[in-house]
Amino acid sequence: MSAKQIRSGLDLGSLRLALVLGGLVLALLAGFAIGRIDTGAAPAAGGSVGGTADDGHLHPPGTAPHEHAGNGTTGSAADSAVGGLSLSAGGFTLVPSTTSYPVGRQQDLRFQVRRADRTAVTDFAVVHEKPMHLIVVRRDLSGFQHLHPSMAPDGTWSIPLTLPEAGIWRAYADFTARDDAGRETASTLGVDLVAAGDYAPRPLPVAVREATVDGFTVTYEGTPQVDATQPLLFRVFQDGSPVGGIERYLGAYGHLVALRQGDLGYVHVHPEEQLVGGAVKFWLSVPSPGSYRLFFDFQVAGVVRTAEFTLTVP
């Protein structure tokens, strides 16, 4: 082979190598551009503290709008978060004036929500038509109460409370605090209250899909799964016929609280803003197998009633 042929072979080899390297660079640049486009389309983490999604369902405080596809979607960390396990979390502390209550006698429940610097929070966002939602339930998941206390200018919340039976009760403060810059932070804090006396815990009722309260029959449809957001539809009947007069309550046609047996974890639930085929629809993501107690509030003729269900998730 002559020197000219050798040089020609080298030139062709160099050309092929340059073309290959150029193709790789273009592919990398294209992948980077696509990645930038995908990233820009995703919502920023923590970019929303709640609101109404394009599909019309409401999100609990602290949950960014998202989609529910088909019969259920894989749950996100926000969906499966459990609150109410501690009296202090996320830079806030629940400070009650007392945790001891007489059995069967009314006594004011007073508390403040304090920041890390021990100052009381006085600015709260209105979520589901109220700035503070207070849930009280005994440790055996009986005696459910859903209350809305009033706040004094110094940030002290108060409401008359009666604990009808002896035992340890759990109080949950569900709120969205606002700082001086207008940033909103949602939190659910919990504290135990004690009603002294002989405590006789009730066994958790069996899991059924029908409950009765004050002449109304309430049923639910749906099969919640661990770490998957699934729909639950509640229907209200009276004398065997669907009730057409369900009224709006707390910004939707019903309110649902889900509590986990054992640690009494407070599971966030997403209500739909409108009725769906005459049913009140929620989206629920359970964080673990086990038993849960569902408390469904609905309003008819200006009266709020609560239907209770036991849910068992394998």
- Of 6-10, 40-44, 58-62, 131-135, the range with the highest mean pLDDT is 131-135
Domains of the chain: 79-195 (2.60.40.1930), 210-313 (2.60.40.10)
What's the pTM?
A: 0.77
Question: Which of left, alpha, beta for 206 (phi over 0: left; psi -120 to 50: alpha)?
Answer: beta
Segment 280-292, tens digit of pLDDT = 999 999 999 999 9
Residue 45 pLDDT exceeds 80: no
Query: In which element (H, E) is residue 30 found?
Result: helix 3-41
Sign of the CA dihedral running 18, 19, 20, 25: positive
Spatial contact of 99 and 110, defined as CB atoms under 8 Å apart: no
Residue-level pLDDT at 11: 45
Supply 261's token pair.
């047996």
Question: Which of left, alpha, beta for 104 (phi over 0: left; psi -120 to 50: alpha)?
Answer: left
Residue-level pLDDT at 112: 99
Coil vs helix vs strand at 180: coil
Average pLDDT over residues 28-56: 36
Average pLDDT over residues 26-36: 37
